[in-house]
Amino acid sequence: MYFKQSLLIELPILFSFEQGKILENIGICSQVDFVRYIQGRKTPGVDPKLFIKDLWFEKVPVRIYQPKAPSASQRRGVMFFHGGGWVFGSLETHEKLCRFIARESESVVVSVGYRLAPEHKYPAAYEDCLNATIHFMKNIEHYGVDPANVIVCGDSAGGNLAAAVSQTLAGGSDLPKLRAQILIYPGLQAVDFNLPSYQQNHRVPLLFRERAAFYVLQYLNGNATNLEEVLEGSHIPIDIKLNHRKWVSPDNIPEKFKARGYKPHVLLDCTNEVFEKVKRLCEPNLCPLLVEDAIVQQLPESFILTCEYDVLRDDGLLYKKRLEDNGVRVTWYHLEDGFHGIISLYDYCGFSFPAGKRGLDSVVNFLKSL
């Protein structure tokens, strides 16, 4: 049943892509601009339980959600980074989600409107999220938030950004330590697009395998010139892949997640020309799964949500193992009937996705436990 529902959701998204392509071909606007317009044109009205305000943290636009009900103590603060493949998504697309989290967990939520690719390439999005988080932590007394209870949170590409920000702040000493990180079906590596979940779910909405690689390259270089090499695995030299294999390997995926079929992929080498264009894919700020153990050991308590029918499932599973192997406490929630993007679609235009609501409730329950 969920496949039928997810396809119904995918159809209008695909339609907007096709409309945007036509408008781009006749010179009216770019495909990316049109899809962004369609995604961000609806904004909910006033929320009776929240104060909502748009601000700038340095040069980064943010939207703050603060519960109206009085609190006897300082609240927890949640820095939220939206998904959308670093190309799409905005304060508007995740408005409903941020309102829900703020209301139900009684937290102050700060949604970050970071710069998008391909106009703004890596590390623009990462830098915006990091700078917004640091600004919030340095001015936290203005928001009634406990400085010892700040959490970074994000879905998909936002989960990638949350993981990168968490790693950067882990080694710092001039700010309070983050209390936790919440990673919702995060994309955490671009070394191997042939892991079991990529093979099993390569054509499952809402994130196809090819589209996942396309977004990473848009974020990295502002184009997808080396898409075929990235998909087949001939974009990184074998010696570097073997060095990362301790962290990025199907051997680290539990066997039960290979039951739907998995064919081991032959390691391919690459040319110097290709690697020169994509070598920054090995940087932890872009691919957090590749960070050294010394940083992982300093990370805060973590929550990771994965979905069975999601190409990014194994990224989450691999990071879960890395965290646990390094002594970090992990709460893992797996949606056996979930697909990529389902958290944002728990109640979408009349469609009801119980799995999405369960996943969202698990996030709120984790926040309440902190």
* Tens digits of residue pLDDT in 57-108: 999 999 999 999 999 999 999 999 999 999 999 999 999 999 999 999 999 9
Q: List the structure tokens of 196.
A: 């079991």
pLDDT for 18 beyond 60: no
Average pLDDT over residues 31-47: 63
Residue 310 bears catalytic tag: yes
Average pLDDT over residues 174-191: 97
State how far the Cα of 235 lies from the Cα of 74, in Å rounded to an integer.
Answer: 48
The DSSP bridge pattern shows strands 330-339 and 301-309 to be parallel
State how far the Cα of 334 lies from the Cα of 312, in Å rounded to an integer.
Answer: 12
Q: What does the pLDDT read at residue 16?
A: 56
Average pLDDT over residues 175-186: 97
| 291 occurs within a structural domain | yes
Average pLDDT over residues 9-34: 52
Domain containing 201 equals: 42-369
Is the CA virtual torsion 121, 123, 129, 135 positive or negative?
A: negative
Q: What does the pLDDT read at residue 347?
A: 73
| 13 occurs within a structural domain | no
Q: List the structure tokens of 89.
A: 């998504």
Q: What does the pLDDT read at residue 26?
A: 57
Q: Higher confidence at residue 292 or residue 44?
A: 292
Q: How confident is the model at residue 23 (pLDDT cuts 50, 70, 90)?
A: very low
Q: Which residue among 234, 340, 344, 362 is the active-site one?
A: 340
Q: Which residue among 107, 156, 302, 344 is the active-site one?
A: 156
| 25 occurs within a structural domain | no
| 293 occurs within a structural domain | yes
pLDDT for 35 beyond 70: no
Return the closest-CA partner of residue 304 out of 343, 342, 329, 332. 332
pLDDT for 111 beyond 90: yes
Q: What does the pLDDT read at residue 199?
A: 97
- Residue-wise pLDDT tens digits, 316-365: 999 999 999 999 999 999 999 999 999 988 776 666 688 999 999 999 99
Q: What does the pLDDT read at residue 176?
A: 92
Q: Tell me if 295 sits within 8 A of 284, measured CB to CB.
A: yes
Residue 340 bears catalytic tag: yes
Residue located via tokens 């209008």: 12
Is the CA virtual torsion 18, 210, 190, 339 positive or negative?
A: positive
Q: List the structure tokens of 15.
A: 């339609």
Helix axes 354-369, 95-105, angle to 10 degrees: 50
| 91 occurs within a structural domain | yes
What total number of domains does the chain contain? 1
Q: Which residues of 233-242 are buried (b: 16+ CB within 10 A; e: fewer)?
A: bbbbbeeebe
Q: What does the pLDDT read at residue 20?
A: 47
Q: What is the DSSP letter of 45?
A: -
| 2 occurs within a structural domain | no
Q: How confident is the model at residue 45 (pLDDT cuts 50, 70, 90)?
A: confident
| 195 occurs within a structural domain | yes
Taking the whole predicted model, whether its pTM rises above 0.85 is answered as yes
Residue 73 bears catalytic tag: no
State how far the Cα of 161 lies from the Cα of 116, in Å rounded to an integer.
Answer: 12
Q: What does the pLDDT read at residue 38?
A: 54
**3-class SS of residue 161:** helix
Distance of CA 149 to the CA centre of its chain: 21
Half-sphere exposure (CA, 13 Å, Cβ side) for 256?
3
State how far the Cα of 177 lies from the Cα of 171, in Å rounded to an integer.
Answer: 9
Average pLDDT over residues 3-31: 51
CATH number for the domain spanning 276: value is: 3.40.50.1820
Q: Which residue among 155, 192, 310, 315 is the active-site one?
A: 310
- Residue-wise pLDDT tens digits, 220-275: 999 999 999 999 999 999 999 999 999 999 999 999 999 999 999 999 999 999 99
In this structure, the dihedral spanned by the alpha carbons of residues 190, 303, 338 and 365, taken in order and rounded to 10 degrees, is -160
| 36 occurs within a structural domain | no
Q: What does the pLDDT read at residue 25?
A: 61
